[in-house]
Protein backbone atom coordinates (compact mmCIF):
# COMPACT_ATOMS: atom_id res chain seq x y z
CA UNK A 1 0.00 0.00 0.00
CA UNK A 2 1.41 3.41 -1.00
CA UNK A 3 2.29 5.72 1.87
CA UNK A 4 0.79 9.23 1.94
CA UNK A 5 3.14 12.05 0.94
CA UNK A 6 3.36 13.26 4.52
CA UNK A 7 4.97 9.93 5.47
CA UNK A 8 7.90 10.62 3.15
CA UNK A 9 8.23 14.18 4.43
CA UNK A 10 8.45 12.92 8.00
CA UNK A 11 10.74 9.96 7.29
CA UNK A 12 14.02 11.87 7.89
CA UNK A 13 12.74 13.12 11.25
CA UNK A 14 11.79 9.56 12.19
CA UNK A 15 15.23 8.26 11.24
CA UNK A 16 16.92 11.02 13.21
CA UNK A 17 14.82 10.24 16.24
CA UNK A 18 15.68 6.56 15.92
CA UNK A 19 19.36 7.46 15.89
CA UNK A 20 19.08 9.87 18.80
CA UNK A 21 16.37 8.56 21.12
CA UNK A 22 17.37 10.98 23.88
CA UNK A 23 16.04 13.84 21.74
CA UNK A 24 12.49 12.63 22.10
CA UNK A 25 11.80 10.96 25.43
CA UNK A 26 8.41 9.24 25.54
CA UNK A 27 5.71 10.77 27.73
CA UNK A 28 5.41 7.71 29.95
CA UNK A 29 3.56 9.68 32.62
CA UNK A 30 0.80 10.35 30.10
CA UNK A 31 0.62 6.66 29.15
CA UNK A 32 0.44 5.74 32.83
CA UNK A 33 -2.56 8.05 33.32
CA UNK A 34 -4.40 6.56 30.34
CA UNK A 35 -3.61 2.85 30.66
CA UNK A 36 -4.72 0.49 33.43
CA UNK A 37 -1.71 -1.02 35.29
CA UNK A 38 -1.56 -4.32 33.35
CA UNK A 39 -1.64 -2.52 30.00
CA UNK A 40 0.90 0.06 31.21
CA UNK A 41 3.31 -2.73 32.17
CA UNK A 42 3.06 -4.06 28.61
CA UNK A 43 3.62 -0.59 27.21
CA UNK A 44 6.86 -0.32 29.23
CA UNK A 45 8.19 -3.43 27.44
CA UNK A 46 8.54 -1.38 24.27
CA UNK A 47 11.74 0.38 23.31
CA UNK A 48 11.65 4.11 24.20
CA UNK A 49 11.55 4.95 20.48
CA UNK A 50 8.42 2.86 20.02
CA UNK A 51 6.93 4.39 23.18
CA UNK A 52 7.59 7.87 21.84
CA UNK A 53 5.89 6.96 18.56
CA UNK A 54 2.96 5.44 20.47
CA UNK A 55 2.49 8.63 22.55
CA UNK A 56 2.60 10.77 19.42
CA UNK A 57 -0.03 8.62 17.69
CA UNK A 58 -2.25 8.77 20.80
CA UNK A 59 -1.83 12.54 21.17
CA UNK A 60 -2.58 13.19 17.48
CA UNK A 61 -5.62 10.94 17.67
CA UNK A 62 -6.99 12.92 20.62
CA UNK A 63 -6.34 16.24 18.89
CA UNK A 64 -8.07 15.25 15.68
CA UNK A 65 -10.84 13.16 17.20
CA UNK A 66 -11.64 14.59 20.63
CA UNK A 67 -14.53 12.13 20.89
CA UNK A 68 -12.29 9.06 20.37
CA UNK A 69 -13.13 6.30 22.83
CA UNK A 70 -10.78 5.53 25.73
CA UNK A 71 -10.17 2.11 24.20
CA UNK A 72 -9.04 3.63 20.92
CA UNK A 73 -6.56 5.90 22.73
CA UNK A 74 -5.28 2.88 24.70
CA UNK A 75 -4.97 0.95 21.42
CA UNK A 76 -2.96 3.88 20.01
CA UNK A 77 -0.54 3.55 22.94
CA UNK A 78 -0.27 -0.22 22.44
CA UNK A 79 -0.62 -0.58 18.66
CA UNK A 80 3.05 -1.53 18.18
CA UNK A 81 3.51 -3.52 21.41
CA UNK A 82 3.84 -6.69 19.31
CA UNK A 83 7.25 -5.35 18.29
CA UNK A 84 8.46 -5.65 21.89
CA UNK A 85 9.13 -9.35 21.31
CA UNK A 86 12.39 -8.49 19.56
CA UNK A 87 15.17 -6.12 20.56
CA UNK A 88 15.12 -2.79 18.71
CA UNK A 89 17.77 -2.91 16.00
CA UNK A 90 17.99 0.27 14.03
CA UNK A 91 19.42 -1.22 10.83
CA UNK A 92 16.73 -3.90 10.87
CA UNK A 93 14.01 -1.27 11.25
CA UNK A 94 15.35 0.71 8.31
CA UNK A 95 15.62 -2.37 6.08
CA UNK A 96 12.15 -3.53 7.04
CA UNK A 97 10.74 -0.17 5.91
CA UNK A 98 12.19 -0.69 2.46
CA UNK A 99 11.20 -4.30 1.85
CA UNK A 100 7.60 -5.50 1.48
CA UNK A 101 6.66 -8.06 4.16
CA UNK A 102 6.60 -11.59 2.70
CA UNK A 103 3.67 -13.91 3.26
CA UNK A 104 5.20 -15.81 6.19
CA UNK A 105 3.17 -17.55 8.88
CA UNK A 106 2.94 -15.86 12.29
CA UNK A 107 4.51 -18.90 13.99
CA UNK A 108 7.09 -20.25 14.51
CA UNK A 109 9.02 -17.07 15.12
CA UNK A 110 11.97 -16.52 12.81
CA UNK A 111 15.28 -14.94 13.67
CA UNK A 112 17.36 -12.33 11.89
CA UNK A 113 15.95 -10.29 9.04
CA UNK A 114 13.32 -12.97 8.30
CA UNK A 115 12.09 -12.46 11.87
CA UNK A 116 11.99 -8.71 11.43
CA UNK A 117 9.88 -9.04 8.28
CA UNK A 118 7.63 -11.55 10.01
CA UNK A 119 7.17 -9.00 12.79
CA UNK A 120 6.34 -6.27 10.28
CA UNK A 121 3.46 -8.39 9.02
CA UNK A 122 2.24 -9.96 12.25
CA UNK A 123 2.97 -7.48 15.06
CA UNK A 124 -0.71 -6.41 15.31
CA UNK A 125 -1.72 -10.03 16.02
CA UNK A 126 1.25 -10.54 18.38
CA UNK A 127 0.31 -7.36 20.22
CA UNK A 128 -3.33 -8.39 20.59
CA UNK A 129 -2.25 -11.77 22.01
CA UNK A 130 0.05 -10.00 24.49
CA UNK A 131 -2.77 -7.68 25.61
CA UNK A 132 -5.07 -10.65 26.18
CA UNK A 133 -2.36 -12.63 28.00
CA UNK A 134 -1.79 -9.65 30.30
CA UNK A 135 -5.50 -9.51 31.12
CA UNK A 136 -5.98 -6.27 29.17
CA UNK A 137 -9.15 -5.15 27.45
CA UNK A 138 -10.56 -7.43 24.75
CA UNK A 139 -11.71 -4.41 22.78
CA UNK A 140 -8.25 -2.81 22.91
CA UNK A 141 -6.80 -6.15 21.71
CA UNK A 142 -9.26 -6.21 18.80
CA UNK A 143 -8.46 -2.63 17.83
CA UNK A 144 -4.74 -3.43 17.85
CA UNK A 145 -5.36 -6.54 15.72
CA UNK A 146 -7.59 -4.68 13.22
CA UNK A 147 -10.41 -7.08 13.99
CA UNK A 148 -13.20 -6.64 11.37
CA UNK A 149 -15.69 -5.72 14.13
CA UNK A 150 -13.56 -2.69 14.97
CA UNK A 151 -12.59 -1.81 11.40
CA UNK A 152 -13.92 1.74 11.42
CA UNK A 153 -12.08 2.92 14.54
CA UNK A 154 -8.98 0.89 13.70
CA UNK A 155 -8.83 2.72 10.34
CA UNK A 156 -8.63 6.10 12.16
CA UNK A 157 -5.68 4.80 14.12
CA UNK A 158 -4.01 3.42 11.01
CA UNK A 159 -4.22 6.70 9.17
CA UNK A 160 -2.59 8.60 12.03
CA UNK A 161 0.02 5.86 12.46
CA UNK A 162 1.04 6.31 8.82
CA UNK A 163 1.41 10.06 9.25
CA UNK A 164 3.40 10.17 12.49
Nearest distance from residue 135's CB to Fe ion, in Å? 22
Site string for Fe ion, 71-90 (x = CB under 5 A): ---------x----------
Nearest distance from residue 19's CB to Fe ion, in Å? 18
Contact in structure between 94 and 11 (CB atoms under 8 Å): no
Q: Tell me, by CB under 5 A, how many residues bind Fe ion.
A: 2
Number of neighbours of residue 4 by Cβ within 10 angstroms: 11
Nearest distance from residue 79's CB to Fe ion, in Å? 6
Q: Which is nearer to Fe ion, 47 or 80 (CB)?
A: 80
Number of neighbours of residue 119 by Cβ within 10 angstroms: 23
Q: Report, in angstroms and rounded to the nearest whole number, the Rg of the chain calculated over CA atoms.
A: 15
Contact in structure between 39 and 134 (CB atoms under 8 Å): yes
DSSP 8-state code for residue 99: S
Q: Which is nearer to Fe ion, 7 or 71 (CB)?
A: 7
Interface ranges with Fe ion (CB under 5 A): 80, 161
Amino acid sequence: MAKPLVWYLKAPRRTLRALLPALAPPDDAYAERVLPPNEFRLYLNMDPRDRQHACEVARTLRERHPGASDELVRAALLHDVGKAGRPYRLLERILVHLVPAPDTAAEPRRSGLAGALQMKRHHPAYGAAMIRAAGGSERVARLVAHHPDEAEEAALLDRIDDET
